[in-house]
Each structure stands twice: as structure tokens, then as C-alpha cells.
Amino acid sequence: MKTTSMKFLKYSIIILLPLLFFCWAPVEFGNEKVLFQGYAIQKPVIRIGLGVNLSYIKISSSSGMKIYEINSNYKLVANVTDEIYIKGRKEKITEKFVIQVAQSKEREDAEIFAQDLGTKIENKVYVTEYSESEISGIFQVMVGDFITREDALSFIKQLNQIGIADTWIMREEITEEESKPLWILVNEKLKSLHDDTVLYFIPSHPKSFLSFNGRDYRGIFVLRTTHKGIVLINVLNLEDYLKGVVPSELSPYTYSELEAHKAQAVAARTYVMRHLGQNKDLDFDICDSPKSQFYKGMKAEHPLSTEAVESTKGEVALYKGRLINALYTSTCGGKTENVENIFDGPPLPYLRSEECVTEKQNEWLLKSRNVMQPINMSGKNISPEIAVLISLNIIHPETNPAYYQQKASFEEALNWSCSFHRWQIRISRNALERRINRFYPIGKLVDIIPQKRGESRRVVELLIKGTESQAVVKGLRIRRVLGVRETLFVIDREYEKEGGISYFTFYGKGLGHGVGLCQVGAFGMAQTGAKYKEILKKYYRSIKISKIY
């Protein structure tokens, strides 16, 4: 491939495309098909962002593809080609920082708080709706702008002095306008594209597929320019999309129960339909990362997951006739949490704390290789009970009977109560101090103290004490600030001779945010014979499962 030096041309976004092609629109139901130059996609159609601000893109096809260039009109760039390369310079992205100081589900309350704060500080104070929240309808009171994170951290000290401790620094991207190229290499010919170009990549055969970054995808690709650079979008049928999501979110190899996968399929379908248009400014619905739903394309597909998707086609979870926010978590550690304790937003009647039944199994047949000697306690031989606990790896065998009379610590009880994802993190005070100071200007770390626990015993409010200030951290942000897997933990401390803390040890359970359907719990229920609707209604209270197409 020859290297070509050319003058960079600025390109911009085209807003309206010819009606012959599919523009962004809310999902449509029914058995109709959407046509893209003769290529049919069954409704409902969804648009998934595969990459944003891309600079080098290689797209290939299993058996050829057609490429159309769209600007003021459209034309065929390549009739049948197996592979193309696209080169474009990334957008130059800079950043600014703002500080969230309060939030409310009522705009009026947020405005009143902002007005009062504006009289106390010399900085811009404004109210905005948090569109990226998992729970919509939250109004934030923001302070800023700040050029650097350090500037924002410094200003937090002023906020602390007037009694505001619950703060959170947020980063916002700013795109700098500059000249940049967009070139396409197809059939060994290099050509530049117009400023307002949109490209459609359409398989030459209905059973062909396209590939990007080592993954194969159903449907078609759309490449376009946006205010955040070049974006690649996968346009496909929603049910085909789910065939790549369900096994990506719930491994069919580890969790091989059909009913659990059917529950996951309904939850994933409900989630994506609830969040359609979330990235409308970039011309797609949701992205392919775990930030939305993990989507690996055809590579992830598995017969078990595909059967689960097909057998629940069109089924969603509704509460009072509306799509629920079908949050789900990997491992809840024994009990899920009320949504308002983890995510910004009001309580939701269908996302309440629930006991996870995965630990309440039916009878098991256990065999011991070794014969235990009798262990007497209060006149009773407890060796059969001890043998069961040893067989389950809950306790270790001990020859001294007094060992079994000791009380378990809270840490031990937490660690033993579930066989999934027990974890322990030991971190020095200095290392944790450096991490925390990226979020809050606390100075030297003195201690971290759980202030409030939720229904599931998760830490939902944490006090961080420092020599210069203290901070209150709530909900999901606790995970990010501390760098732990979950907020279901207890803390142990090691002390120096001088009396200060030298190390913190977190004993925890669970993986994820702990709200909604527990995937490991769903698998456990399916193992005991529960059907998918029973599983869904366990974790989402008072819902109805309805087939909407």
C-alpha cells in the first residue's frame, strides 16, 4: 500500500439522508422489513455504536459487500469487494471539569439550591438534567467550569468550608475544530471523501456478514462523521442483536441453564428498548460495551442463548404498562439492593432488595472420604453437621473441638455465606490515599468509615476522613473511589506502632452493582426448576411479561 501525502479537508455532518436509506428513528414493531438497496432487515431495527472517534478502520465481508457514498445524493463506490480500509485523523478532544454538588428529582428544588449557593461562591452554578443516569429524571446542581481536575479539587475545599461534603467531579469532553482527512482504500484505489460523506456497507448476499476488529456482525454498517469524530454503526434486527448480547452477558458455558438465559433475554430486550435513542446525537441507540450491554456480535452466539432469544421473541417486562429499567448484576452476594441506594434517582417499586435464592438449594448428596471422630457439644454429637460444612469447604477440619464453639467474625460470616465471588483486597493507606485524592482533596488519609448500609448490608454511604478535609461518598461511586468489586464489604485495619493506620483490608462479596436481576441467582433458580417468568418476577417486583411483537 502506497503512502500518500495530501492536504487535509474538513468534513461535517450530514443531517438528512435520502429516504431510500434508514435514518435514526424510534424502533418500529411488526413483521415488515426495512430495505437498504435491496438488503432487507426485519423490524424492529436497532443501531449499535461499535466505535467512536475512530482513526483507522478495516471492514471485511464473508462473501463480498457493496459500498454506497451518501452526501447530497448517493452513489455506488464499490459493487463487490471483500475488504476496505478507511483512514481518518481522530478528533482533537480536550476536556473540562465540573463539580456536582447536589441533585433532586424536582427541578424547582434544584433551582432553589443553585440560587442559594450562587450567593455564597464566586463561580458559575447551574442546573442540568442527568441524561446518562441509569434512572432518568434527576436534576443536578453543577459548579464550574474548571480547566483541570486539580482546579476542581482545589475548589472542593471551598465547598467543604460552607458545609457541602457530597461532591463529585465530572469530566466533559470538548471537540476542537481542526482540518482532518477521510480517505477510503478500495480495490487498491485511494480516494478522498466529501466533507459530508456517510458510507453504507451492505453485504452482497442476505446470508453474508461484515467484520470489524476481529468480530463478525449481522446486518449492515454505517460510517459517518459526528462532533466526536468518525463513528461506525451496526444496523440490524433487534432479535439478532440479542443473540450476541445474551451469551456475552451470561456465559452459556458456565451457566448452562436455558431458563436462566431466557430470563436474561427478556431483561436484555427490555433494557435496550427502554434506552433506545440514548446516543441520538451520534446517530445510534446504545454502544456495544458493558456500559450499556456487552455485545460481541456473531462470535459470541451459542445455540443455548439463541434458543432463549427465539423462544422469548418480543417479550418484555412491564410495570403498569411501561417498560421497566431492567438492570441486572453479575453476582449479588446473597441479596440485591434497593435501586435508590446505588444509582442516582428515586425509589422504583420493581427494583427493591430481594433475597437471592441461589444459596437456598434443594437437598444435596455429600460423601466424605475420611471418617470423622465424634465431636460432642452440649451433650450432642455434632460430627455429621461438621462433616457437611467441611465437604462444602465452608470450614476447615480441626482436631480441637473447642474450635467449633468459637463465634465467627462478621468478616467470616460474610465470606462464607455465598460460594460465588468472595474477594479480599489488602491495600496500603498510602496507596488508597493517592487513589482517593484523585476524587477528593482530603490530604493525608486518616480513616474510611461506613456511615450507612442498605437493605442488603451494602455500604451505601461512606465517610472519608483526611487531614485537610472529609468527603461523603454515596452509592455506586464508592466502588470507583475505592477500586473494589462491589459495595458489599467490611473493613479491617492494620495499625503502625505510632497508632496510625498502615493497611486496609476489604472483605467483600459479589460482583457488579447489586441491583435488579442477579445472573448467578437466576442460574441457581433455573437449576432448581424455576421457569424464566418466575425468575424475572422474583427480582423485578409486580411486573408483567408481555409479548409486544
Nearest to 313 by CA among 519, 26, 548: 548
Q: How far is CA 68 from the centre of its chain?
A: 34
Q: Residue 251 corresponds to which amino acid? A: S
- Check pLDDT > 60 for residue 383: yes
Radius of gyration of the chain (CA): 27
Residue (of 321, 507, 323) closest to 414 by Cα position? 507
Give the chain's mean pLDDT: 82
pLDDT digits over 480-504, tens only?
999 999 999 999 999 999 889 999 9
Burial of 439 (0-12, 13-18, 19+ CB in 10 A): buried
Cα-based angle 251, 253, 258 (whole degrees, multiple of 5): 75
C-alpha cell at 162: 460552607
Residue 273 has pLDDT above 80, yes or no: yes
Quickly tell me which residue has 453504507 as its cell.
200
Kind plus residue range of the DSSP H or E element containing 125: strand 125-129
CA 202 vs CA 87, 183, 197, 207, 209: distances in Å: 19, 19, 16, 11, 9
Higher pLDDT, 189 or 334: 334
User: What was the pLDDT predicted at 57?
Assistant: 87
Residue in 417, 400, 427 with CA at minimum distance from that of residue 510: 417
What are the structural domain ranges in the chain?
92-176, 344-351+381-512
pLDDT band at 349 (very low <50, low <70, confident <90, very high): very high
pLDDT at 419 over 70: no
Amino acid identity of 112?
Answer: I
Q: How far apart are CA 390 and CA 415, in angstroms?
A: 15
Torsion of CA 24, 25, 26, 29, to 10 degrees: -110
Dihedral sign, Cα of residue 312, residue 314, residue 320, residue 323: positive
Beta pairing class for 517-518 and 328-329: parallel
All three cell numbers of 37, joined, read 438497496
Q: Which three cell numbers stand for residue 9?
A: 479537508
Mean pLDDT is lowest, of 167-181, 272-286, 433-447, 501-515, for 167-181
CATH T-level assignment (fold) for domain 92-176: Alpha-Beta Plaits (3.30.70)
d(CA 129, CA 138): 6
- Residue 74: pLDDT over 80: no
For residue 188, pLDDT beyond 80: no
Q: Is 470 exposed, middle or buried (0-12, 13-18, 19+ CB in 10 A)?
A: middle
Least confident of 50-59, 88-97, 387-396: 387-396
